[in-house]
Structure 1
Amino acid sequence: MPALPTNLARVGAIYKFRARIPTDLLRFYHPKREITESLRTKSLSEARRLLPAVQLKYQQEWANLRAAATDGFTDLTLNDAGIAYVVAMVEHESLAGDEAIRSAGHYDIEEIREYRERLADSINTLRDAAAIRDLALIRPAVEEYLRLKKLNPVGRPEDFDRLALAYLHGAIRTNETLLARMRGDPVPISSAPPPPPNRALPAIPAHPSTLSGGAGNGTSLYSLFEYWRDAVPGRPQRTIDDFEKRVRAFDALTKHKPAERLLKADFVAYRDARLKEVSPATVEKDLSFLKAIMQFAFDSDKLPANPAAGIKVAKNEMDSTRRDLEVEDINTLLASRIYTQSHRPRAGGGEAAAWLPLMALYSGARLEELCQLTLADIKTEARIPHLRILDLKDEKADKQIKRLKNVGSRREIPIAQKLIDHGFLDYVRYLRQQKQTWLFPELKPDPKYGRRGASWGKWWGRWRTALEVGGREKCYHAFRHVFKSACRASGVGEDIHDAITGHCTNHIGRDYGKFPLEALKPGIDLVAYPELKFTWVWTPPQSK
């Protein structure tokens, strides 16, 4: 069999574009290391025809990223002078920052003792890496530091390795100096920073650029939140608002303590205070936001450590046992007026009130994934009707129309035969005859975040509570867990139902390629609920 052209791969029966991400652009795609895009064809000749356009698209995308990455940057030649300049700058800023905090009297003895322990551990880790020349540990920090300083490294890969090794040795020296200060040894800071090796490079500031709000005040937690927020363009506004809410609450509790002075005890105090107000699951979520911000700051060399790391939330074993929807609950929901009397409450989005529970029951899809489906997302390929779960952006208006939880959520889901038996494809044909665009046209996006399922989710909570199917654990998302349980009970392989639900796993072997529809269809049709008493079939409005 002849070899396939470069960047062309066959996954199952479908041909795909596949390419490794250039090393200098990996940070823009983290944690991905390669790009795949379906060419949506089983024909080799058609795939060959489509491939050049996709190759050109990514070549242009990478050229644009490189141009944006170097906009306003200054070239730094990775010779001996350039490397010495970067290392001296890092050492000076770290020691000057410590001196500013110390001079302002912002350290207390408990913090000093905790820093001694942290620094000793850091030094051991760095020395181990230096001993075996493990530059993978330090390389991300070097890249991020150069980006923050708007320096564009110019040189060969081996020159960058020399910089990384020098940076590693500089980090060891700096931490040892800081540890000596924490032990009370007199270690003065140099009176003036070293000069740049040429006029094109920026001079090292007399005070560390990471300290804000005046000399000695330290870095505010809110500024670290802003740094995290701005690091990735296009973060969902709802995610940003959730993070900001937790940061402001924590900041108020610690009385705006500088981030460099935050201790593990501060995060423990926050955890314990929140546990008096909300459930352990909510506290765990709150802490995850704070941990993410602190870890990102630590990874970016803005903090010497992440004191929030490793803090756990104790849970009652009984509380942590999920109480999903039971068969009796589902039978109650499916015996409601929605199905027996064709009741279509306005707040329930018309036909969405009937279809969304059934679609979740036979696909395990998330609420917003289903609410934002358009008729164009209902496709048939190889005689298999399926849903396309995709994100969508209006480039002209720079507005996200459809958004997914993560990259792994993009997928194609075969439409279960049970849904077809209930009349789903008849419903789709009816909408197309009516010249509709959305699968559920009566659902409207909320004005703040643009989520089409937000109002419906609130209505669903009221509706099921009225039917005495109450409890937070029996929310719409519970259908997703019911579907996963039904897959296991029906003998559907874990890899298949993970692919159907868009569930990300830690298994490396599943990172490459996706299952073709032909592999997913038998699995989704196996899913059954033998104890359900439900024979409803959708009929168009004019026939009711």
Structure 2
Amino acid sequence: MQGRLMGFMTYLIRRGVTWHFRFRLPDDLRGRAVAAYWPNNLSALINPKLGRIKQEITESLRTSDNSIARARAGVRISDTELLVREARRFLAEGPARTIPEDVIEHLAQRRLQELLAADDAVRAKGLGLDMTAMRSAAASGLLICKRENQPPHGPTSPDRSGMTRDDLDLFAFGVDRLAADLRLGVALRRPPNWVQAAVDAALAERGIVLPPDAPEREALDIEFLAATQRAFAALKMRNEGHFVPTPPSPPDPAERLGPTLSETFEQWKAGTLLPGMKVPRSSTATEAEFCIRRFRELHGDPRIGAITREHARSLRDALWRLPTRLPAHVEKLPLPDILARNDLGDYPRRSSGTLGKHITLITAILSKGADAYDLKFNGAGWSNPFEGLKPENNDDELNRDPLSPEELAIVFSSPIYTQGERPRGGKGEAAYWLPVLSVMTSARLSELAQLRVCDVRRDEGTGIDYLDINDERGKTLKAASAKRQVPLHMVLLRIGFLDFVAWRYASDEDATAKLFPGLEPTGKGGRIGKSWSKWFNNWRRSKLKIVGEDSRKDFHSLRHTFKDMCRAARIEEEVHDALTGNSFKGGGKGVGRRYGNGVPLEVRAEVVASLKPPGALLQLRWTKPS
């Protein structure tokens, strides 16, 4: 509690009796020069005199009560952190170079409303013009032409409020001249300069830079021209004595259609979309970022409520055509450019399981965004456009083939197991033990790579040795169901797994040391075991000549071998799902399956003991490295 209070106090300063909020901006932003098209929604970060990002943000909290100040500071911390994230994204990506149709429509409606609201203000206050002297000169013989349908002369001196008769004359003259300018603009399909200046101001307010020849710029120019002409037609009717009400300010698309897809993703990634939402794993966030990036390359960055079923189908179909393992120079290309290439057949196809994960992720992000911004209840009639678009066969079980007994024999009779060979990419003893453990425990590569010495445990009550697969000490798991205890089969004990664990403990004298040192997070998203998996697949293909159709055989195939062993032993699916860390679907048999503590350790141990290990493992014996 004390640490939490101290955290708040770093954002609070007292000046006199009043508390103020102070947020020191990060080093990568502080004092940085900004361009003229800096978005208006980020203006709170800018020192307008210097044209640079402020050193810090300060604001009076208007209270002398410390508890009230802390509560108000909490809100401002969240708001300012969001500004910082948006500023970093804007500086990294630059201004938007496209504008959605709904925003074009909104800006045009706002243009009409603002012109009529400004006219209301002028008519309410008036200019106070008095042209009596000029009318006297006209009476002396200098004629002033009278407009047709001109209302009778009223008082020329200003009342306490409102326009004078002379104000009206001048205003009507200006409206007529500008209306003629607009009619010419419509005829030429080219807005007058003063309308284009209004378009520029609207774009600058949103931090958008459109090339002069962009189709969106032409559409916005025409919509602004039409809205301005409608407004001036209304002004003319007012001048002629007709009542024309000013429409209410149009709601921003964000209120009706929610934030943009990229804004929604950033909030989802930070875990701030909904109260109590968890921050997604870095690997999950990386996969989601891939989906969002590819969507934006196809369709821009619309608001989530404006994403259509056609958008969703287009992305799904494009991702299905997008191969995997593309060279870096191809991978970085926009999605339409990649799909236009004629060499895509040279690369492996994307599996239906992977595509299913992509669709599941973007479906979840949109659903949470819709919940956060009440899209289902604000009249937008929203439904998730990605719902039901997953491929028919999206089960990972269908995307890998288990290794045959002959192929297992090839793996476990290789020099790694018979001659003590330890290839550099295999990371020492990991090259020996990871395949063995995967076959006999069904653990995923990422789960094995994160194991600590202390995760190999013995139950004191039963004497059962087991792997404790958990999310402690910074480890991450694929899903909640992956957290489990897997009893060790007797063949692992005969091969010498517990001797290996004891050797690792003696090496570091630390029970929390990594069981397989050298396996570190690599690549974007920091996925542990990724480089080892690449080595294993290269070794399998080039050294062992084990090549599956369409890359259906890899390290994950060893885990499928365990599943086949369970089926051969006629083990109930609920039990072997508990061993493999899969979520048991239950065949639609009700929620009762989810009650209780799951399958007991003793039952799991009996089941594991009943498994018949591959014959290739029976002759293995691990020896301590010299």
Instruction: Please state which band the TM-score falls in when normalised by the shorter chain.
Output: 0.5 to 0.7
Cα distance in 1 between the residues matched to 2:455 and 2:436:
18
Structure-2 change in CA distance of 1:492 and 1:189 (3 Å): farther
Counterpart of 1:184?
none
Counterpart of 1:11?
none
Deviation by residue 1:368-409 (Cα, 9 ceiling, x = unmatched)? 11111111111111211111111124xxxxxxx311112222
Counterpart of 2:540?
464
Structure-2 change in CA distance of 1:69 and 1:248 (3 Å): farther
Cα distance in 1 between the residues matched to 2:559 and 2:570:
17
Structure 1 residue runs without a partner (length 5+) = 1-66, 74-97, 107-187, 193-205, 394-400
Structure-2 change in CA distance of 1:305 and 1:102 (3 Å): farther
| Alignment equivalent of 1:446, drawn from 515, 522, 525 | 522
Q: CA deviation at 1:234?
A: 3.4
Checking the alignment, whether the CA contact within 8 Å between 1:219 and 1:258 is kept in structure 2 is yes
* Length, aligned pairs only: 347
Superposed counterparts of 1:380-395, under 5 Å? 380-381=458-459, 382-393=462-473
Q: Is 1:340 the counterpart of 2:418 in the alignment?
A: yes
Cα distance in 2 between the residues matched to 1:315 and 1:322:
12
Classify the secondary structure of the residue corresponding to 2:609: helix
Structure-2 change in CA distance of 1:219 and 1:462 (3 Å): same
| Alignment equivalent of 2:300, drawn from 255, 262, 265 | 255
Deviation by residue 1:284-338 (Cα, 9 ceiling, x = unmatched)? 3332222222222223345322122122436699x95753221221111111111
Counterpart of 1:191?
248
Counterpart of 1:528?
612
Deviation by residue 1:508-534 (Cα, 9 ceiling, x = unmatched)? 313420333222111111111455474
Structure-2 change in CA distance of 1:368 and 1:69 (3 Å): farther
Q: CA deviation at 1:469?
A: 1.3
Checking the alignment, whether the CA contact within 8 Å between 1:280 and 1:313 is kept in structure 2 is no
| TM-score (ref. length: structure 2) | 0.50
Q: Is 1:422 the counterpart of 2:495 in the alignment?
A: yes
Q: Is 1:411 the counterpart of 2:487 in the alignment?
A: no
Cα distance in 1 between the residues matched to 2:457 and 2:502:
12
Cα distance in 2 between the residues matched to 1:225 and 1:498:
32
Counterpart of 1:474?
553
Classify the secondary structure of the residue corresponding to 2:384: coil
Deviation by residue 1:39-77 (Cα, 9 ceiling, x = unmatched)? xxxxxxxxxxxxxxxxxxxxxxxxxxxx9999549xxxx
Q: Is 1:267 the counterpart of 2:347 in the alignment?
A: no
Checking the alignment, whether the CA contact within 8 Å between 1:280 and 1:315 is kept in structure 2 is no
Superposed counterparts of 1:211-360, under 5 Å? 211=255, 219-231=259-271, 232-278=277-323, 279=350, 281=352, 282-303=354-375, 304-313=382-391, 322-360=400-438
Checking the alignment, whether the CA contact within 8 Å between 1:334 and 1:534 is kept in structure 2 is no
Q: CA deviation at 1:190?
A: 8.2
Give the fraction of aligned pairs with identical amino acids, expressed as a percent: 32
Deviates more, 1:332-341 or 1:277-286: 277-286
Checking the alignment, whether the CA contact within 8 Å between 1:390 and 1:411 is kept in structure 2 is yes
Q: Which amino acid aligns with 1:444?
A: E
Q: Which amino acid aligns with 1:264?
A: R
Cα distance in 1 between the residues matched to 2:71 and 2:584:
33
Checking the alignment, whether the CA contact within 8 Å between 2:450 and 2:514 is kept in structure 1 is yes
| Alignment equivalent of 1:503, drawn from 562, 575, 582 | 582
Counterpart of 2:622?
538
Structure-2 change in CA distance of 1:285 and 1:499 (3 Å): closer
Taking only aligned residues, the RMSD between alpha carbons, in angstroms, comes to 3.5
Checking the alignment, whether the CA contact within 8 Å between 1:492 and 1:526 is kept in structure 2 is no
| TM-score (ref. length: structure 1) | 0.57
Checking the alignment, whether the CA contact within 8 Å between 1:373 and 1:439 is kept in structure 2 is yes
Q: Which amino acid aligns with 1:419?
A: L
Q: Is 1:379 the counterpart of 2:457 in the alignment?
A: yes
Cα distance in 2 between the residues matched to 1:539 and 1:320:
37
Cα distance in 2 between the residues matched to 1:253 and 1:515:
47
Deviates more, 1:229-238 or 1:521-530: 229-238
Cα distance in 2 between the residues matched to 1:474 and 1:313:
21
Superposed counterparts of 1:75-90, under 5 Å? none
Cα distance in 1 between the residues matched to 2:576 and 2:393:
29
Structure-2 change in CA distance of 1:321 and 1:217 (3 Å): closer
Classify the secondary structure of the residue corresponding to 1:287: helix
Q: Which amino acid aligns with 1:244?
A: E
| Alignment equivalent of 2:507, drawn from 434, 437, 442 | 434
Checking the alignment, whether the CA contact within 8 Å between 2:286 and 2:524 is kept in structure 1 is no
Q: Which amino acid aligns with 1:442?
A: G
Checking the alignment, whether the CA contact within 8 Å between 1:422 and 1:537 is kept in structure 2 is yes
Cα distance in 1 between the residues matched to 2:466 and 2:392:
42
Counterpart of 1:396?
none
Structure-2 change in CA distance of 1:249 and 1:442 (3 Å): closer
Checking the alignment, whether the CA contact within 8 Å between 2:519 and 2:532 is kept in structure 1 is yes
Classify the secondary structure of the residue corresponding to 1:486: helix
Q: Is 1:368 the counterpart of 2:450 in the alignment?
A: no
Q: Is 1:210 the counterpart of 2:254 in the alignment?
A: yes
Checking the alignment, whether the CA contact within 8 Å between 2:491 and 2:617 is kept in structure 1 is no
Classify the secondary structure of the residue corresponding to 1:388: strand
Q: CA deviation at 1:264?
A: 0.7
Q: Which amino acid aligns with 2:368?
A: F
Cα distance in 2 between the residues matched to 1:365 and 1:190:
64
